[in-house]
Amino acid sequence: MHDQLLLDTQRRLRRRLFEGPDAIAWRPARELAAQLLLYLDEPARCWQIAAEWLRETLDADRVDGGWGGWVGVDGRSSRYVVLAEARRPTLALPSVRGVSFDAADPSIRAVWAGDGVAAIAEVAQERHFSASMRGALQALGTAAKLALPVRDGTRPVGLICADWHRQAPRWRPRPCNALPSVAAQLLGPVLAASQRLAVETIEMDGASPPPGPVLTAARAGDAGLPDWVPAESKPDDAPSLTSPLAAALTPAERRVALLVAQGLSYKEIARRLDRSLSTVDHQLRSIRTKLGVRSTSRLVHLLSEQPSSLR
């Protein structure tokens, strides 16, 4: 059930992001979209991917992102808590992961009041900053800053910010000008969908959601490498499908069938083979048709009944 929900959400977003007149046109943003869709059911990882992409794209010293950071129409504020962070490896800047900022601060209110990127060339001189915010940022080594509100339509989602330790850095015009559309077309819809997917999964499993903003702190430390290994780095003695059962399958379908037989989910197979969920779904349909089975569970059972097919 979870895999089907993930697949349906991924298909809907793929159509929105890549098809029609409103499709994303900028190639770097399309590449980011493809990567985010692969990790759609891991909100913390999606934020981390976005932070790393933005740091590389802007050549920033540090990028942070996460849920919250706005004041609602009722006057209640949702604190901005840094969930994801990417830092320039050659600079010894302090980490901001887990740091909490008051959404009612004039500087953060000004970000949401703007139409695009809020650019602060000199933090020390910015008039919108309160003394406490200015002091906090300077203590973190921030001399200049770009801040971007992330919305899903009109609904606020979170913030993503880029920092530099030097004043008035050489901001790259092309990516800076593209950021508002990247936030509106890509980050807002995808990050909001990722959050909803996580909530729906929790509800399906019968568990209670964590307190506070959904998944604000969940897996906050999970910023390392993915927990999978590309297929080409597998050992040479890994099992392969060479039996008559697999003779009708293409090499790509054999790799998918092997992973199915090992009990991997659609998402895990997609990551292992660096394919989209829709590609994996198409290949599994073809495999089931060729082997004469109606469901993936029956396919697993068939392969387990014939272990020689894995030799």
The confidence band for 238, taking pLDDT boundaries of 50, 70 and 90, is very low
On the question of pLDDT at 267 being above 70, the answer is: yes
Name the amino acid, one letter, at 304: S
- Model confidence at 304, in pLDDT bands (50, 70, 90)? low
Percent of the chain with pLDDT over 90: 48
123 vs 142: CA distance, rounded Å: 7
Tokens 């029956």 -> residue: 298
The number of CA neighbours under 13 Å toward the Cβ of 256 is 25
Mean pLDDT over residues 188-201, rounded?
A: 89
87 close to 150: Cβ distance less than 8 angstroms: no
pLDDT at 244: 52
Statement: residue 56 has pLDDT above 90 = yes
Burial label for 281, CB within 10 Å (0-12, 13-18, 19+), is buried
CATH of 2-204, one of 3.30.450.40, 3.30.43.10, 3.40.50.2000, 3.40.50.300: 3.30.450.40
| Cβ-proximal residues to 295 (8 Å cutoff; 6+ apart), any chain | 288
259: CB partners within 8 A, 6+ apart: 268, 269, 272, 273
How far is Cα 51 from Cα 160, in angstroms, rounded to an integer?
7
At residue 114, does pLDDT exceed 70? Answer: yes
Q: So what's the pLDDT on residue 206?
A: 52
Closest CA to 51 of 307, 223, 171: 223
Picking from 104, 96, 16, the residue whose alpha carbon sits closest to that of residue 60 is 96
pLDDT of residue 1: 54
Residue 296 structure tokens: 């993936």
Q: What is the pLDDT of residue 208?
A: 45
Least confident stretch, 37-46, 104-113, 246-255: 246-255
Whether the pLDDT of residue 79 is over 70: the answer is: yes
Between residues 242 and 301, the one the model is more confident about:
301
Residues in the chain: 311
User: What are the backbone angles phi and psi of residue 245, rounded to the nearest 5°?
Assistant: -60, -35
| Domain layout of the chain by residue ranges | 2-204, 231-310
CB-CB contact of 261 with 83 (8 Å): no
Split at pLDDT 50, 70, 90, the class of 32 is very high
Q: What is the mean pLDDT of residues 167-177?
A: 87
256 neighbors 270 (Cβ within 8 angstroms):
no
Q: What is the pLDDT of residue 61?
A: 96
Mean pLDDT of all residues in 36-64: 94
In the prediction, which pLDDT does 205 show? 55
Class of domain 231-310: mainly alpha
What mean pLDDT comes out for the span 173-192?
95
As a whole number of angstroms, the distance between CA 149 and CA 184 comes to 9
